[in-house]
């Protein structure tokens, strides 16, 4: 990231290593053997993300907390507040919900089934395409009506209708695991991928065709693959060479497998 110009990136979508929730392949530079994972310079990354993000650009930071002896770390909140300190707006706190399926947690709490998707913006987001796929219960065509004024007269009105589909809520639910997050078998060699559809939905919402999208912790290359399929440019960084290899194989396979119509059905 340090090699990027200021204001270079339109949209970042990323999911950093959360506390010690996942055990990554740690046989590489940057590994912290104590945690069987990585330490990563969070504050440096957050400041750099602010620098490289265009005015009006967006960063989607997908993160959860671990619980140590009945005490959640709260690191996701600490990180969100630090992004604000860097200058970002906390534009929306969204939820990535997953139906219970081997989710993390313990048997004293309710089943843990979500992560945060913090949406930060540098100023106001320059692109917002809200996805409309929530069925409106009271969908109706527009019609004519009247309103009685204070002086007793009737004012004729045209009432707007409601479309069959309204904008969705900021809680997005995705099935996860093999056959759900992706049909690319190779991607599951990475222990903590997020669903392709989640990446696609954020790409559609916060960017335009031709924009530059970045994932600083790209893992198996989910964001990169979805950028190819939605005609965005992309850059990814990943500390682990094995995961880079997975991403490279997956991306070339993705280009071969899909066309633009098929992506709409994901
Ligand atoms: C939660 S995973 C991301 C998975 C990705 N979203 C996907 O769908 O495949 C986090 C990734 O961050 C990588 N990582 C950890 N520290 C890093 C660092 N300092 N720089 C770049 N990547 C890092 C890990 O190797 C891991 O692949």
Per residue in 38-66, pLDDT (tens digit) is 567 899 999 999 999 999 999 999 999 88
Range of the structural domain that residue 141 is part of: 134-166
Q: State pTM to two decimals.
A: 0.87
Q: Which residue has the higher pLDDT, 260 or 13?
A: 13
Ligand 1 pocket member 50 (CB < 6 A): no
**pLDDT at position 118, please?**
98
Site to substitute for ligand 1 among 19, 21, 219, most atoms within 8 A of C-beta: 219
Q: Collapsing DSSP states into helix, strand and coil, what is residue 85?
A: helix
pLDDT tens-digit profile of 162-204?
A: 788 889 999 999 988 887 888 888 888 888 889 999 999 999 9
Ligand 1 pocket member 240 (CB < 6 A): yes
150 Cα: distance to centroid of ligand 1 (angstroms): 63
Q: Is residue 3 one of the residues assigned to a domain? A: no
Q: Are residues 182 and 149 located together in one domain of the fold?
A: no
Q: Report which ligand 1 atom has the smallest distance to the Cα of 181.
A: 8
CB atoms within 10 A of CB 230: 19
Domain count for the chain: 2
pLDDT tens-digit profile of 111-153?
A: 888 999 999 999 999 999 999 999 888 777 778 888 899 899 9
Q: Are residues 108 and 193 located together in one domain of the fold?
A: yes
Q: Are residues 103 and 140 located together in one domain of the fold?
A: no
Q: Which residue has the higher pLDDT, 26 or 250?
A: 250
In sequence order, what are the beta bridge partners of 178? 182
Ligand 1 pocket member 45 (CB < 6 A): no
Provide the CATH number for the domain around residue 213.
3.40.50.150
**pLDDT at position 260, please?**
61
Name the domain boundary from 123, 151, 166. 166
When mean pLDDT is compared over 17-21, 72-76, 177-181, 215-219, the highest value belongs to 215-219
Q: Is residue 52 one of the residues assigned to a domain? A: yes
Q: Are residues 150 and 260 located together in one domain of the fold?
A: no
Tokens of 10: 């339109």
**pLDDT at position 230, please?**
93
Q: Is residue 1 one of the residues assigned to a domain? A: no
Q: Is residue 60 one of the residues assigned to a domain? A: yes
Q: Calculate the CA 220 to chain-centre distance.
A: 15
**pLDDT at position 28, please?**
45
Q: Are residues 142 and 214 located together in one domain of the fold?
A: no
Q: Are residues 70 and 127 located together in one domain of the fold?
A: yes
Report the chain's mean pLDDT, rounded to a whole number: 87
pLDDT at 25 over 60: no
**pLDDT at position 36, please?**
45
pLDDT at 35 over 60: no
- For residues 168 and 255, give the distance between their C-alpha atoms in angstroms, rounded to a whole number: 29
Q: Are residues 111 and 47 located together in one domain of the fold?
A: yes
Q: Are residues 46 and 63 located together in one domain of the fold?
A: yes
Order of strands across the sheet with 212-215?
Answer: 171-173, 89-97, 114-121, 53-63, 9-14, 212-215, 233-236
Q: Are residues 33 and 49 located together in one domain of the fold?
A: yes
Q: Is residue 258 one of the residues assigned to a domain? A: yes
Q: Report which ligand 1 atom has the smallest distance to the Cα of 194.
A: 8
Q: Are residues 64 and 138 located together in one domain of the fold?
A: no
Q: Are residues 15 and 107 located together in one domain of the fold?
A: yes
- For residues 8 and 11, give the distance between their C-alpha atoms in angstroms, rounded to a whole number: 10
Q: Is residue 105 one of the residues assigned to a domain? A: yes
Q: Is residue 141 one of the residues assigned to a domain? A: yes
In sequence order, what are the beta bridge partners of 147? 155
Name the domain boundary from 123, 146, 166. 166
- For residues 26 and 35, give the distance between their C-alpha atoms in angstroms, rounded to a whole number: 9
Q: Is residue 108 one of the residues assigned to a domain? A: yes
Residues 234 and 255: beta-carbon distance below 8 Å: no
* Residue bearing the CA closest to ligand 1, atom 3: 219
Q: Which of 4-13, 25-34, 42-51, 86-95 has the lowest mean pLDDT?
A: 25-34
Q: Which of 14-18, 96-100, 177-181 has the lowest mean pLDDT?
A: 177-181
Q: Are residues 65 and 111 located together in one domain of the fold?
A: yes
Residue 157's φ and ψ, nearest 5 degrees, are -125, 150
- For residues 175 and 103, give the distance between their C-alpha atoms in angstroms, rounded to a whole number: 12
- For residues 249 and 234, give the distance between their C-alpha atoms in angstroms, rounded to a whole number: 16
Q: Which of 20-29, 70-79, 182-191, 250-259 has the lowest mean pLDDT?
A: 20-29
């Amino acid at each position: 990231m340090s090699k990027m110009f200021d204001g270079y990136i339109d949209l970042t979508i990323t999911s950093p290593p959360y506390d010690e929730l996942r055990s990554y392949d740690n046989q590489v530079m940057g590994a912290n053997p104590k945690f069987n994972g990585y330490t990563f310079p969070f504050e440096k990354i957050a400041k750099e993300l602010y620098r490289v993000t265009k005015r009006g650009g967006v960063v989607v930071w997908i993160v959860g907390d671990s619980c140590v002896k009945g005490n959640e770390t709260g690191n996701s909140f600490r990180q969100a507040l630090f992004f604000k300190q860097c200058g970002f707006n906390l534009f929306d706190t969204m939820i990535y919900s997953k139906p219970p399926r081997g989710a993390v947690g313990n048997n004293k709490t309710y089943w843990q089934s979500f992560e945060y998707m913090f949406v930060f913006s540098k100023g106001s987001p320059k692109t917002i395409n809200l996805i409309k796929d929530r069925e409106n219960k009271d969908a109706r065509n527009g019609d004519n009506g009247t309103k009685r004024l204070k002086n007793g007269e009737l004012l004729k009105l045209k009432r707007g209708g409601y479309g069959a589909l309204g904008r969705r809520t900021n809680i997005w639910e995705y099935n996860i695991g093999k056959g759900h997050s992706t049909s690319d078998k190779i991607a599951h060699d990475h222990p903590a991928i997020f669903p392709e559809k989640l990446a696609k939905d954020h790409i559609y919402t916060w960017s335009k065709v031709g924009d530059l999208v970045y994932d600083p912790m790209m893992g198996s290359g989910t964001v990169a693959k979805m950028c190819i399929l939605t005609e965005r440019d992309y850059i990814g960084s990943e500390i682990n060479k094995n995961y880079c290899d997975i991403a490279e194989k997956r991306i070339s396979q993705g280009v071969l497998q899909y066309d633009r119509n098929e992506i709409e059905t994901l």
